[in-house]
């Protein structure tokens, strides 16, 4: 095994993935992040790291791969890992979906270009589950159906993965395993589904008999704790010891707080319907009352006894409310950070809303550690 495992991080954000990889033994030499607030977060925390010589670079569409390698000072041929998660909103299953032609979708192709140019031994590509069904070309819903022409290959669900991502992997010569995982299966106190792609330049997966992403990063937890696995970690384990109710958080309006006072731990809008009637529910839900699906998060109070739902970039969104299990307020910034497994000493720059955004967008630190340890097992040749 090499004496040093050098890495370069793209789309570094608040460094959740970086911290996890560092825990697993990787030396991240360059963080590439265009967002100024995230850059400040990186700078603010680097003095606390053992390796304080991390460089920060910006726009990946402008920076040349050779310049990234030059700044990294990684010896030629010794780049072990490139890791990153291109902005995922273009492929999100929530809201208006874009496609590869969305500016954020173009960043995916640029990321793969840098991987091709730098030829690391391994790469990690993390994204939302929507990337599995994203189309190469988007057709609005009101232009589909029996009265419209059939979808073209580029417009079909999954065409981006089938026509762009997989061919690009083949083109750059990497063996790639990928799949949908839930971070709760790796001890993270949160249900958060993500797609993980891990590529091997030297075809090391097939040599070891690995055929799925779970072979590289085998789950350590399960919902029921069967087959020798631990039970899912809970929200209570992550935040119950936090007593400071006056730490940073965004406030509910008085009217909204009054509604949440009626909702017990672990319940949501259904409790209000069953106990206060349809007329009351219609009043507090507005147009969402008539929606067919996607209502689970409305007027939801979290439970200490379960993992947290996926952290969004704001705990105030009506459709994905993240009300504290016992207090009539959203989760605080500190609680957000605990759920994403950032150490308590980690500092986040910017306003309260910017801190929520950085934490919500991050890869949970424990997930990054699991990915790093999985790659480490491949390096050691463990079957």
> What is the per-residue pLDDT for 135?
85
Q: Which of 170-184, 196-210, 293-307 has the lowest mean pLDDT?
A: 293-307
Decide if 149 is inside a domain: yes
Q: Please tell me whether residues 226 and 299 are part of one structural domain.
A: no
Decide if 353 is inside a domain: yes
Q: Is the pLDDT of residue 311 over 50?
A: yes
Q: Please tell me whether residues 218 and 303 are part of one structural domain.
A: no
Average pLDDT of span 322-348: 96
Q: Please tell me whether residues 220 and 239 are part of one structural domain.
A: no
Q: Please tell me whether residues 86 and 201 are part of one structural domain.
A: yes
> What is the per-residue pLDDT for 95?
42
Q: Please tell me whether residues 150 and 254 are part of one structural domain.
A: no
Q: Say what percent of the chain tops pLDDT 70.
A: 92
Q: Average model confidence (pLDDT) for the chain?
A: 91
> What is the per-residue pLDDT for 303?
98
What tens digit of pLDDT does each residue of 216-265 get? 999 999 999 999 999 999 999 999 999 876 779 999 999 999 999 999 99
Decide if 101 is inside a domain: yes
Q: Is the pLDDT of residue 11 over 80?
A: yes
Q: Please tell me whether residues 248 and 224 are part of one structural domain.
A: no
Decide if 1 is inside a domain: no
Confidence of residue 134 (pLDDT cuts 50, 70, 90): confident
Q: Please tell me whether residues 212 and 260 are part of one structural domain.
A: no
Q: How many domains does the chain have?
A: 2
Q: Please tell me whether residues 60 and 208 are part of one structural domain.
A: yes
Q: Which of 154-163, 244-253, 318-327, 373-382 has the lowest mean pLDDT?
A: 244-253
User: What CATH number has the domain bearing residue 117?
Assistant: 3.40.50.150
Q: Please tell me whether residues 57 and 156 are part of one structural domain.
A: yes
Confidence of residue 103 (pLDDT cuts 50, 70, 90): low
* 3-class secondary structure per residue, the chain: CCCCCEEEEECCCCCHHHHHHHHHCCEEEEEECCCHHHHHHHHHHHHHCCCCCCEEECCCCCCCHHHHHHHHCCCCCCEEEEEECCCCHHHCCCCCCCCCCCHHHHHHHHHHHHHHHHCCCEEEEEEEHHHHCCCCCCCCHHHCCCCCCCCCHHHCCCHHHHHHHHHHHHHHCCEEEEEEEEHHHHCCCECCEEEEEEEECCCHHHHHCCCCHHHHCCCCEECCCCCCCEECCCHHHHHCCCCCCCCCCCCCCHHHHHHHCCCCCCCCHHHHHHHHCHHHHHHHHHHHHHCCCCCCECCCECCCCCCECCCCCCCCCCCECCECCCCCCECCHHHHHHHCCCCCCCCCCCCHHHHHHHHHHCCCHHHHHHHHHHHHHHHHCCC
Q: Say what percent of the chain tops pLDDT 90.
A: 74
Q: Please tell me whether residues 196 and 150 are part of one structural domain.
A: yes
Decide if 148 is inside a domain: yes
Q: Is 38 an active-site residue?
A: no
Q: Please tell me whether residues 174 and 318 are part of one structural domain.
A: no
User: What CATH number has the domain bearing residue 351?
Assistant: 3.90.120
> What is the per-residue pLDDT for 89?
59
| Domain ranges, residue 369 | 6-231+363-380
Q: Please tell me whether residues 93 and 197 are part of one structural domain.
A: yes
Whole-structure pTM value: 0.92
What tens digit of pLDDT does each residue of 153-195 get? 888 888 889 988 999 899 999 999 999 999 999 999 999 999 9
* Catalytic residue selected from 31, 38, 88, 323: 88
């Amino acid at each position: 095994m090499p004496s040093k495992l050098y890495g370069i991080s793209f789309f570094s954000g608040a460094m959740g993935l970086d911290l996890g990889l560092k825990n697993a033994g990787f030396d991240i030499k360059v963080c590439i992040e265009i967002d100024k607030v995230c850059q400040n977060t990186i700078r603010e925390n680097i003095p606390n790291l053992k390796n304080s010589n991390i460089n920060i670079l910006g726009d990946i569409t402008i920076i040349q791969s050779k310049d990234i390698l030059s700044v990294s000072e990684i010896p030629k041929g010794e780049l072990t890992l490139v890791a990153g998660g291109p902005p995922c909103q273009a492929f999100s299953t929530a809201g208006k979906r874009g496609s590869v032609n969305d500016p954020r979708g173009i960043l995916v192709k640029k990321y793969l270009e840098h991987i091709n140019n730098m030829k690391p031994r391994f790469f990690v590509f993390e994204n939302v589950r929507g990337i599995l069904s994203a189309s190469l070309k988007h057709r609005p819903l009101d232009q589909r159906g029996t009265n419209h022409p059939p979808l073209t290959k580029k417009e079909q669900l999954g065409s981006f993965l089938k026509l762009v991502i997989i061919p690009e992997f083949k083109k750059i010569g990497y063996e790639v395993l990928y799949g949908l995982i839930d971070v709760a299966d790796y001890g993270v106190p949160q249900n958060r589904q993500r797609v993980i792609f891990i590529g091997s330049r030297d075809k090391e997966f097939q040599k070891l008999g690995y055929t799925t992403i779970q072979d590289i990063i085998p789950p350590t937890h399960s919902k029921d704790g069967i087959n020798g696995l631990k039970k899912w970690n809970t929200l209570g384990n992550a935040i119950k010891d936090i007593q400071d109710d006056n730490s940073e958080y965004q406030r509910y309006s008085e009217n909204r707080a009054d509604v949440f006072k009626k909702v017990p731990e672990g319940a949501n809008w259904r409790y209000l319907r069953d106990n206060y009637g349809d007329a009351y529910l219609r009043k507090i839900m507005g147009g969402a009352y008539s929606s067919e699906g996607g209502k689970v998060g409305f007027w939801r109070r979290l439970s200490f006894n379960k993992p947290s739902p996926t952290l969004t970039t704001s705990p105030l969104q009506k459709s994905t409310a993240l009300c504290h299990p016992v207090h009539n307020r959203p989760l605080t910034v500190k609680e957000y950070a605990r759920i994403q497994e950032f150490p308590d000493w980690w500092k986040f720059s910017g306003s309260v809303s910017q801190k929520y955004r950085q934490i919500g967008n991050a890869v949970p630190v424990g997930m990054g550690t699991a990915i790093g340890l999985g790659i480490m097992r491949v390096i050691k040749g463990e079957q």
